[in-house]
Structure 1
């Protein structure tokens, strides 16, 4: 039997070196592998190049690594909920490769599927394709690193000529993901919206580390209900069902006016 379980989050991330690239699951604060993130913070790993939909908030998710200045580059699609992220980017401390959300998802999926690159219509006619988007600022506010020009080709799709921009796949050194349930072989089941980028991030990492709320024995998961097969997962850590989960922005309706009812 291939038992991929590790004793703790700290042990599972111990060999992630300075300068490593990571694909990290989550969307907002949903499905964040927070135990693995905090273990990485505790061991002091720095100069990380992270691919994730966003960078958490100032005190949660990937934001805890950002606050400690452990991240040198983010590849993301949305960064609007983190004030420290804005400060570091505009001051030239952080590099940002801003990527359309669907394109980011496909770049991760392609990397995990052995596809080197693909053409998409997203970004055609914009700076995504034409280049010049700021990736890193200099201390004086000038652009130190700008996005490059990308290849654009015309294809006949359904009898209609359309332009497409070439996007390269993403493969990272490691992946950190969160799942509801997993077995010792690494097969994973995600919970509703917490599924989000987690399977795609897992696919893109050369070494995928998964934290699960519940660890079960092989054969206990319904094969038809497995969201990510264990072939993509190399290490699995049980963190328990009581792990803290935060809501990024809570919105509640005002109570109904029952006066006179």
Structure 2
């Protein structure tokens, strides 16, 4: 039941070539910067993992976090809702060069596809995207006189997320807006890796405030002073 691991490198060691990886965060809020950088460090040392399909809200900013992962040519395909964020130059350049695929998903639909994956719901219908290119090739049904687009669930081999506190059983609480996509991704992945600022003993978290139950978490690593994407970008940081 003790799901803690001793290092970031150990935490990401099971992610293999071609994996579907959900990465939490809404911009920099809740983004697991240290876990992403550990994955990059592993790739630079071993050449693995590569050809990843990444599911995230955006396409990264600057040259840290998700943008750095993309810059290393580790990502084959990105599934996201907002590829044009504050400084998406890395993704934009590779996309225009034909070196990375993009599946664009409206933000609410993205969240619901991930939630459906965690809840075991293979498909659902939404009016969002009807009549646009995003509905092309998808099944359309009419309900109460209104057309709806069928959307499929999203699941992943691995989710890497950031929370605020965990116990050794993997029960999680988040800091404010850092909840965003993170709890949904924990449910939708076969293996969830979480970085937290503090790990407490079982019973150290009030059960009434647990957001993600430990049943959805497999690995927890402590990062006591996590970096923030926006701060790194203001400093002009690059990783590596």
Global fold match (TM > 0.5):
yes
Would you say 1:94 and 2:93 are equivalent positions? no
Would you say 1:150 and 2:156 are equivalent positions? no
How far residue 43 of structure 1 moved from its aligned partner, in angstroms, is 0.8
**What is the CA–CA distance in structure 2 between the aligned matches of 1:55 and 1:190, rounded to whole Å?**
23
**CA root-mean-square deviation:** 1.3
The one of 215, 239, 245 equivalent to 2:228 is: 245
**What is the CA–CA distance in structure 2 between the aligned matches of 1:246 and 1:104, rounded to whole Å?**
22
**Structure 1 residue aligned with 2:237:** none
The one of 188, 193, 200 equivalent to 1:216 is: 200
Mapping 1:52-63, distance limit 5 Å: 52-63=56-67
**What is the CA–CA distance in structure 1 between the aligned matches of 2:18 and 2:212, rounded to whole Å?**
28
How far residue 187 of structure 1 moved from its aligned partner, in angstroms, is 0.7
Would you say 1:179 and 2:166 are equivalent positions? no
Off by >2 Å, runs of 4+ in structure 1? 246-250
Extract unaligned runs of 5+ from structure 2. 44-48, 235-240
**Structure 1 residue aligned with 2:111:** 105
How far residue 182 of structure 1 moved from its aligned partner, in angstroms, is 0.7
- Bigger relative contact order, structure 1 or 2 (CA pairs below 8 A, ≥6 apart): 2
Higher share in helix: 2
Extract unaligned runs of 5+ from structure 1. 132-148, 251-261
How far residue 58 of structure 1 moved from its aligned partner, in angstroms, is 2.4
**Structure 2 residue aligned with 1:84:** 90
Larger Rg: 1
How far residue 189 of structure 1 moved from its aligned partner, in angstroms, is 0.4
Measured against aligned partners, the alpha-carbon deviations of 1:212-261 in whole angstroms (never above 9, x if no partner) come to 11111111111111111111111111111x221132798xxxxxxxxxxx
Contact 2:60 2:91 in 1 (8 A): no
Would you say 1:195 and 2:179 are equivalent positions? yes
Contact 1:55 1:61 in 2 (8 A): no
TM score, norm. by length of structure 1: 0.84
